[in-house]
Amino acid sequence: MITPQLRSYLLLFSLLPELCFASPENPTRAELLQTVKHIQQLAEETQSELEQEKLAHKGTQDALTFADKALTDTQAQFNTYRIAAEQEIAKGNSAIVSLAALVKKHHLDLIILCGLWAGLVGLLYLKAGAILGPAGVYAAAGLGAAGIGLILWRL
């Protein structure tokens, strides 16, 4: 039969190796098991964080790819608009040059027309001046001024 004293000795001798050899240099089996479990838990957490970082990196990479594509498209559109604008500006400049030449020609035509009108009024005065007398000078001057004014007003 096992007496309480014998039971104490048996318990002491069974725990003696663990009590004697348990130290930071020599951990017990339970401590080693606990450490392994803790390492496994840390590994799982680290793996989970790594997966989250991979997903975040992929999202950032996708956003960067999208932004690069948008930048390329925008640059292409800008270059297309710039080329079209330069073509329109060139057309406008050529139209301005041709219009300037036309306006100069038109002004020359008006000057010639004014000269012809003044000559016609002068001839009319010379032919009709004898009939109207001194009032013919005023009539010819008024007629000439009105005609030249009308020509220049229509400029």
- Has residue 146 been placed in a domain? yes
- Has residue 107 been placed in a domain? yes
Question: What's the CA gap between 24 and 83, in Å, rounded?
Answer: 78
Nearest C-alpha neighbor of 113 from the set 138, 139, 101, 105 = 105
| pLDDT score recorded for residue 5 | 64
| Tokens coding 138 | 């005023």
10-residue mean pLDDT profile of the chain (155 residues): values are 62 56 70 86 89 92 94 95 94 89 82 85 78 77 84 74
| Tokens coding 29 | 């089996």
- Has residue 22 been placed in a domain? no
| pLDDT score recorded for residue 149 | 85
Question: What's the CA gap between 140 and 43, in Å, rounded?
Answer: 115
Q: What angle separates helix 135-153 from helix 29-132, to the nearest 10 degrees? A: 160
| pLDDT score recorded for residue 143 | 83
Number of structural domains found in the chain: 1
- Has residue 132 been placed in a domain? yes
Q: What is the residue range of 50's domain?
A: 27-153
Rg from Cα positions in the chain: 56
- Has residue 14 been placed in a domain? no
- Has residue 9 been placed in a domain? no
- Has residue 101 been placed in a domain? yes
**The one-letter amino acid at 112:** I
- Has residue 10 been placed in a domain? no
| pLDDT score recorded for residue 43 | 85
Q: Are 43 and 37 in contact (CB under 8 A)?
A: no
| pLDDT score recorded for residue 88 | 94
| pLDDT score recorded for residue 61 | 94
Question: In sequence order, what DSSP letters do the residues of 51-114 get, joined into one string?
Answer: HHHHHHHHHHHHHHHHHHHHHHHHHHHHHHHHHHHHHHHHHHHHHHHHHHHHHHHHHHHHHHHH
Give the rounded distance of the alpha carbon of 105 from its chain centre: 45
**pTM for the structure as a whole:** 0.44
